[in-house]
Structure 1
Amino acid sequence: MPVRIYGSRALFVPHNRSHTIPIQLLGMVRSFVPPLSNDFHKGMMGRVGVIGGCREYTGAPYYAAISALKLGCDLSYVFCTEGAATAIKSYSPELIVLPYLDGPSASQEIGSWIQRLHVLVIGPGLGRDQQILATTKDIVNLAKQEGLPMVIDADGLHLITEDPSIIHGYKKAILTPNKVEFERLFEKMVGHKPHDTDSVGNVNTLSRKMGNVTIVQKGEDDIISDGDNALVCTAEGSPRRCGGQGDLLAGVLGTFTHWAHMATESNVENATFQAYGPTLCAAYSACLLTKQCNSQAFQIHQRSTTTPDMIHQIQKAFESLFI
């Protein structure tokens, strides 16, 4: 079996494209997923905060927050604008919805919650309002001061592309650009378009330019790099592309990120986990689970598949991969 070298690690993959999941990577994920236990109390498995949701976009923060909860975090918060709050509350009573994002003291109000959270997911449904983007920049800075892991997606990536210094060198951050978002950020940081024939090299280059922030370039194959090492998730999804799949990925990545950092603190002994570290391992796990949800939902709904169909598959997908 030929070997592709990504960064300083070797990942064994078939020469032609394959959907086979390397057994060592499945073992890596299983090593840091916490077991269910009667000894745990509410909050230990994760308190995830989603920064996003405006009058125009209420579905995206809901998808991210409910996906984080369905994967297994204990509490899921949405910090949104006042105009989005009622709609998001109506989607699910399970979410804690806080309409602070466009208030006169938004940074202070949301900042007071940051110490209670384990991870932030920034960007789903955020919109492009300049005042809200300025508030979000303040929130990112507060989260960095607290050492809080962050997943940055959607309009959060627009903010980073405008001012990459916000997140430069913060190694607890994971950026999740799609093809277009990746190209914009790459051109901003590198000065030219990505190379057509070196997808993994492009992601490695961008990560290094960002100060070794972890990058997840979403696509048919998801490419994940921290600038030193890379993983490629080649699992099979489906040909259906509906809005909201990236929000599901961002949400489950929030929960996986907390679990991976928890495992680092408890010195998980899995060699692959230790080799790649918490951000790459969490990102690979989220990509794999999202593709499995997409595949399972498509088998049932085919062309009619939408993101809620995928969310309903989270537990079955988790069991099929990691149990």
Structure 2
Amino acid sequence: MLTLVNVLGRLSRRSFTFPTATQDLTSWSQPGDVSFEPLSSKLLQALSWCIPALTYDKHKGYTGAPHYAAISALKCGADLATIITTESAAIPIKSYNPEHIVLPWLEGEDAVKNIIDSLPKFHSVVLGPGLGRDSKQLQIAERLIYEIKERGLPLVIDADGMYLITQKPDIIKGYDKVILTPNAAEFDRLYTVVLQKAPTEGEPIIDVKRLARKLQVTILRKGFIDIISDGSESLVVNTEVSPRRSGGQGDILAGLLGVFNYWMHVAQSMPHMINERHMGLYGPTLLAAVSACALTRECNKAAFDKHGRSTLATDMIDEIGTVFVDIFGKDRTAGIYS
């Protein structure tokens, strides 16, 4: 029978001789040393009460964000993923995956110049995962937002990027190629700053639309259901998802958004999409957000079905290729970019 060992106080200093298979464990131990209790069903039930239940309404934080955002973009179909970070973080991030292009430019006198000079090489930008809240790095991020807007690049702002936007919401106001991705707490803070009042209890869809209209941007409020609005139209993605909220899931969503935001803006100008009803009704940012949310949620469910409570972000990433085909169909040899 399995036994549970409970160490009581300080063990005596005598030399221990472990019991043989024929010895009685309780007679072998001395009072105050070690006690043994069978792992009965009642004891196991008592232990299970101490384990937190999985729930759909928890939020989490994570610091290894750049890798998850970049690898998710690559798994989704991006040709290259470049991570711009600090010098101290560059080697650890590069060691995660050789596919990453890692540039240690997020500090120093030439930081802004180096990044601005590289912008013509990029098709889409995800700003925020792993950024941190150092004042100098936030100043660099603010300057880059203006440069990104000037070049008309699709932009996703997530994580610590949302902290910057909450401090200075006007820097993205009116930019129609940006998608903000606040979680519930980040949304409440931004809403309160911009509208000078707390969100309405029990009306998240209305609140997201109201804030999006005020800022004239697309907002994706992440949660048990994902709520998306550009201030005019609103969409909800509530496909089944697991209660397992592993660290890195928001970063996966951000990376996928970066890819879909670019794809949808390219598709918008294609001849066969000009009269497409959904593109005309919702526009590229809403469709990008719906696509990324659907893919992320299905990857979460697929990973949870296999791994249950032990599901990690890496398990979700492993599902991207298969789930992508399940949702959007098999890859075509000729597509909208041919």
Structure 2: tracts of 5 or more residues without a match? 1-61, 330-338
Q: How does 1:26-65 map to 2 (within 5 A)?
A: 59-65=64-70
**TM, length-normalised to structure 2:** 0.77
- Residue range with higher mean Cα deviation, 296-305 or 261-270: 261-270
Does residue 117 (structure 1) correspond to residue 116 (structure 2)? The answer is no
Query: SS of the residue aligned with 1:195?
Result: coil
Deviations 1:81-102 (A, max 9, x none): 1011000100001010000001
Report the residue type matching 2:299 in the other structure.
C
Does residue 222 (structure 1) correspond to residue 226 (structure 2)? The answer is yes
Q: How does 1:11-30 map to 2 (within 5 A)?
A: none
Deviations 1:53-87 (A, max 9, x none): xxxx7620000011001000111100001011000
Structure 1: tracts of 5 or more residues without a match? 1-56
Does residue 305 (structure 1) correspond to residue 321 (structure 2)? The answer is no
Distance 1:81 1:292, change over 3 A: same
Aligned twin of 1:46: none
Report the residue type matching 1:169 in the other structure.
G
Query: SS of the residue aligned with 2:81?
Result: strand
Q: CA deviation at 1:308?
A: 0.6
- Aligned identity (percent) is 51
Does residue 143 (structure 1) correspond to residue 157 (structure 2)? The answer is no
Q: CA deviation at 1:273?
A: 2.0
Pick 1 or 2: higher relative contact order, CA cutoff 8 A, min separation 6: 1
**TM, length-normalised to structure 1:** 0.81
Could you tell me which of 102, 107, 120 is aligned with 2:107?
102
Could you tell me which of 256, 275, 289 is aligned with 2:295?
289
Q: How does 1:270-289 map to 2 (within 5 A)?
A: 270-289=276-295
CA distance in 1, matches of 2:107, 2:225: 37
Query: SS of the residue aligned with 1:101?
Result: coil
Q: CA deviation at 1:208?
A: 1.1
Aligned twin of 1:154: 159
Aligned twin of 2:254: 250
CA distance in 2, matches of 1:102, 1:80: 8
Query: SS of the residue aligned with 1:115?
Result: helix
Aligned twin of 1:205: 210
- Residue range with higher mean Cα deviation, 259-268 or 91-100: 259-268
Deviations 1:152-181 (A, max 9, x none): 000000000000111011111100000000
CA distance in 2, matches of 1:243, 1:181: 17
Aligned twin of 1:175: 180
Could you tell me which of 127, 131, 144 is aligned with 2:132?
127
Q: CA deviation at 1:322?
A: 1.1
CA distance in 1, matches of 2:305, 2:195: 40
Q: CA deviation at 1:274?
A: 1.9
Q: CA deviation at 1:243?
A: 1.1
CA distance in 1, matches of 2:209, 2:277: 22
CA distance in 1, matches of 2:266, 2:154: 11
Aligned twin of 1:17: none
CA distance in 2, matches of 1:78, 1:314: 20
Q: Residues 58 and 88 of structure 1 are in contact (CA less than 8 Å); yes or no, is this contact kept in structure 2?
A: no
